[in-house]
Amino acid sequence: MNSETLVKEAIIKDVKNIVSEEQVVTDRETLYDASSDRYRKYMKAKGVLDNPLPTAVVYPNNPEEVKELLMYCNENDINVIPRSGQTATEGGLENWKDLALVIDGSHMNKILKIDPYNMQATVQAGVPLQALEDELRKIGYTTGHSPQSKPIAQYGGLVATRSIGQFSTLYGGIEDMVVGLECVFPNGHISRIKNISRRAGGPDIRHIVIGNEGTLCYITEVTVKIFKHYPDNNKFYGYLVNDVEDGVKVLREVMVNGYRPSVARTYSPEDARQHFYHFYEDKCVLIFMAEGPEGIVEATGKGIEEAVEKFKDGIVKQVDSQLIENWFNQLNWTQQTIDDEVQGMIDNDKHDGYTTEVSADWETITKIYNNVIDRIRNEFPRADDLTMLGGHSSHSYLNGTNMYFVYNYDINCEPEDEMKIYHHPIQAIIVEETLKLGGSMCHHHGIGKYRNEWTKEEHQSAYYMLESLKEVFDPKGVMSFGNIYPVQEGLKYQK
């Protein structure tokens, strides 16, 4: 038995003294699954991941156990990987250290309070988003939050990754929904940010926690806004348009005129093909959904129609709204969807593609899109292997929008080489062009471990502020090693 094995056995023994033996899992299958998230999904499915397995997966039952676990890891220089929901896509859950504990919050799964009068709900970190949504729907309310991972995502992970949902143009991202929260720092300090609608008591300290990707603290409890639900009033709109720029012009017109549809998207023909193959006619697709009280829905619908009329030269034709509604009702993942995808990768030597999402102002976003597509088609050495390259804008604001680049390819290499030969070079082009034109390299999936080489360029002079947070709250660097902050040791996985 080597020294590393002895150290790991000692850690496992110590952890079982902090929590119960049943809360600590160490079988190889569980550790392998916990060693990575969906970022290197093909390598993972093929069983060829090359990063270390974590020492154990631990399931605390309450914030006090989280506190004791974090203090133990901090004192013993053990990497902590906070996990809640396990739907991360950017390597944020991947382990890069020989000694590491995955601390999974799914046992902290109580809905603590639903408060319709004050329009908020308080949940523990391991509460699935769908579970809260289901309870709210029973009494006529909704979370307003609907990422594609909604059936399986949990609140700790949603807040830690600064997630966004498909209805964000109306309800906002998770950062707009969080009222207050509780979190634990590696030194054991438990902080509670109270539930107040708005205050001016200094900087908004919620944002130290929201989007920290596990690098500063562990989230144990969240209070979020809730909204009245008006499903009978929903209206859907769909159009075929000439190009991405025509679609973006209509999106901009709707937003700057003050309307807030819950869904506002435009798809390139390549991306539209996989979603709307039965009606896209080799054109771009523009879709909207209006929801809320009847008067707001009517006004929003009128605003959409006026915007479409203003830019009618770019509109090919309107689409039956029922087609858009049917598509939307089938959009979310389930655990079965993920399981089927994994089995497909094992059986068929292929996967369902990757995405890289960025954001910019209105005048820049189409420049980024066109530059990226041109560079990939002309500079990417394996361009002939691409089976799909396109994108869509799906989250819009008064002053700009996002672009979701979507791409897939035939995998003509060994599974362990796929990321380096295909995905990483494509993602690098997307990030480089976005930063060159002043956009953000990550709109909602976060930095994780595989965009951290550009973190300093993303933040530029403001990186001083981000770096200082790490130095204060996690001076020993035990929290989510490699997330957000660039580390030399990660280069062997990134390049």
Q: Is 219 annotated as a binding residue?
A: yes
DSSP string computed for 198-216 = ---SSS-THHHHTT-TTSS
Supply 390's token pair.
Answer: 């396109």
- Of 404, 409, 450, 493, which one is the catalytic site residue? 404
Q: Is 368 annotated as a binding residue?
A: no
Residue 239 appears among annotated catalytic residues: no
**How do beta strands 227-228 and 141-142 pair?**
antiparallel
Indicate the residue type of 341: E
Indicate the residue type of 476: K
Please tell me what DSSP assigns to residue 167.
T
Q: Is 30 annotated as a binding residue?
A: no
Q: Are 93 and 37 in contact (CB under 8 A)?
A: yes
| Cα–Cα distance list, 210 to 144, 176, 192, 233, 479 (Å) | 18, 10, 13, 32, 15
Q: Is 22 annotated as a binding residue?
A: no
The Cα 219–Cα 66 span in angstroms is: 9
Where do runs of H (alpha helix) occur along 437-473? Answer: 455-459, 463-473
Q: Is 331 annotated as a binding residue?
A: no
**How do beta strands 284-290 and 235-241 pair?**
antiparallel
Q: Is 215 annotated as a binding residue?
A: yes
Tokens 């020989």, residue located: 98
- Closest by alpha carbon to 19, among 79, 70, 93, 54? 70
The Cα 187–Cα 185 span in angstroms is: 6
Q: Is 216 annotated as a binding residue?
A: yes
Please tell me what DSSP assigns to residue 53.
P
Binding residues for FAD: 213-219
Residues with active-site annotation:
404
Binding residues: 213-219
